[in-house]
Structure 1
Amino acid sequence: MKREFLKDLGIEGEAIDKIMAEHGKDVQDANNQVESLTTERDGLKEQLADHNSQLEDLKKSSKDNKELQDQLAQLQEANKNKDEEWQQKLADQSRDFKINEALRDSKARNPKAVLGLLDLDKVTVGKDGKLENFNDQLEEVQKNDSYLFDTKSNQEADGPKGVQVTSLGNPSGGNGGNEPTMVQKIAQRMSGEK
């Protein structure tokens, strides 16, 4: 986010500084999370490479022992499975991060509530790094449950905040419903009732 963007929205001075500081915290948190996951992934890759190297060395030195060969093959298969599990976990984390980012960009008031309305099993990350089978679902939720999103139309529907003056007098009635309103009194006089 750039300061010019906020200025174009009509935000000025100290408000921009506060928004930029808060945005900086979010970006820093995301960067820290990515860095942590990257470090963890690299460490696990290194461990896996070391284990595979050790297994290959053992396999070469023990060609005569069939039982040891079978154990080594099982260990290699287990290492391969663990690697696939880690790759899947990383892919799931990446997908979840992209989904949360998309919900934030869509101005979801309560991302957890919106997530409950989506079928996340169908959502994947394509080769281009974009979410697939997500936007259609999100648009459907926005259409059916628009109150879950901060949009211009929702803000207008909520109405202006503060005191509202109406042409009919006090909008709440203020009389507990016992006395007729001014409009009702005028209508009665016009019709000849008392």
Structure 2
Amino acid sequence: MDLKELLGEELHQQVTEKVGDKKIAVVSDGSYIPKEKFDAVNQEKNDYKQQVGQRDEQINQLSEKAKGNEELTSKIDELKQQNETAKNEYEQKLNDQAFDHALKDSLSAAKVKNPKAVQALLDKDTIKLKDDKLVGLEEQLNNIKESDPYMFEEEENPNEPPKPNFTTGQHTKGSGDEPANLADALAQKFTK
């Protein structure tokens, strides 16, 4: 839903007059990440990279000092391998998080009613994240739209008149104070 639909014609006109050329985004769909949260995660990532770099440097220094001592050299090689494994696991975790975030944003943009249900139908092995875009997702979403259109919000056609909205009356049983039907109401009135 864009800002004009959300505010209505008159209020949107007033807002655009006040704001001018600045863009206003409606971010209630979950695609917005607060700057503080982004900065915190980004700082944590940079700290980890710095720590890994420091470990690599320390291990290389120890390796040079340990030449000739086989036991120490083998221990250093083992630490290098552990460090490399930890680095690869961390990078994989970051890539998985970026993929999940991009997938969530794409499903939100596709107006999916239940993202978890649609994710269960996707073959994630064929979807790849390249340059912050998911390759292979659109084809799968189109197939799901054809087979299960109820999983997506209906797109409103501006040329179609709006559908009427009918509501039914509320039929509730009395809570003790009010009568449940007309006969009870009359009986209650005449017995008091």
Length-normalised TM-score, structure 2: 0.68
Selected match of 1:131 from 134, 141, 157: 134
Cα RMSD after superposing both structures:
3.3
> Is this contact kept in 1: 2:107–2:115, CA < 8 A?
yes
Q: CA 1:28/1:141 → structure 2, altered by over 3 Å: closer, same or farther?
A: closer
- Indicate the residue corresponding to 2:3 in structure 1: 6
For residues 81-120 of structure 1, what are the structure 2 equivalents within 5 Å?
Answer: 81-120=85-124
1:23 partner SS: coil
- 2: CA distance, partners of 1:133 / 1:67: 50
On the 8 A contact 2:102/2:132 being kept in 1, the answer is no
State whether structure 2 residue 181 is matched by structure 1 residue 160. Answer: no
Q: Which has the higher contact order (CA 8 A, sep 6+)?
A: 2
Pairwise CA distance, 1:24: 6.8
Aligned residues: 155
Instruction: For residues 75-129 of structure 1, give each alpha carbon's deviation from its aligned partner in whole angstroms, at most 9, with x where no partner exists.
Output: 1111111111111111111111111001100111111111111111221112x33
> Post-superposition shift, 1:32?
4.2
- Deviations for 1:124-179, whole angstroms, at most 9, x for unmatched residues? 112x331112111111111111111112269x9xx532259xxxxxxxxxxxxxxx
Q: Distance in 2 between matches of 1:49 and 1:136?
A: 41
Structure number having the greater helix percentage: 1
Separation (CA, whole Å) in 2 of partners of 1:27 and 1:146: 23
Match of 1:182 in 2: none
1:51 is matched with which residue? 55
What is the match of residue 145 of structure 1?
A: 148
1:56 partner SS: helix
One-letter amino acid matched to 1:106: A
Q: Structure 1 length as normaliser, TM-score? A: 0.67
- Kindly tell me: are residues 42 and 123 of structure 1, through their superposed partners in 2, closer, same or farther at Cα, counting changes over 3 Å? same
- Measured at CA, do residues 24 and 139 of structure 1 come closer, stay the same or move farther in structure 2, by a change above 3 Å? closer
Distance 2:44 2:95 in 1: 14
Q: Distance in 1 between matches of 2:28 and 2:120?
A: 29
SS at match of 1:131: strand
> Does structure 1 conserve the Cα–Cα contact (< 8 Å) formed by 2:3 and 2:26?
no
Query: 1:53 & 1:40 partners in 2: Cα distance?
Result: 20
**Could you tell me whether the CA contact under 8 Å between 2:111 and 2:152 is conserved in 1?**
yes
- Quickly say closer, same or farther: Cα 1:80–1:94, change in 2 above 3 A: same
Q: Distance in 2 between matches of 1:121 and 1:30?
A: 30
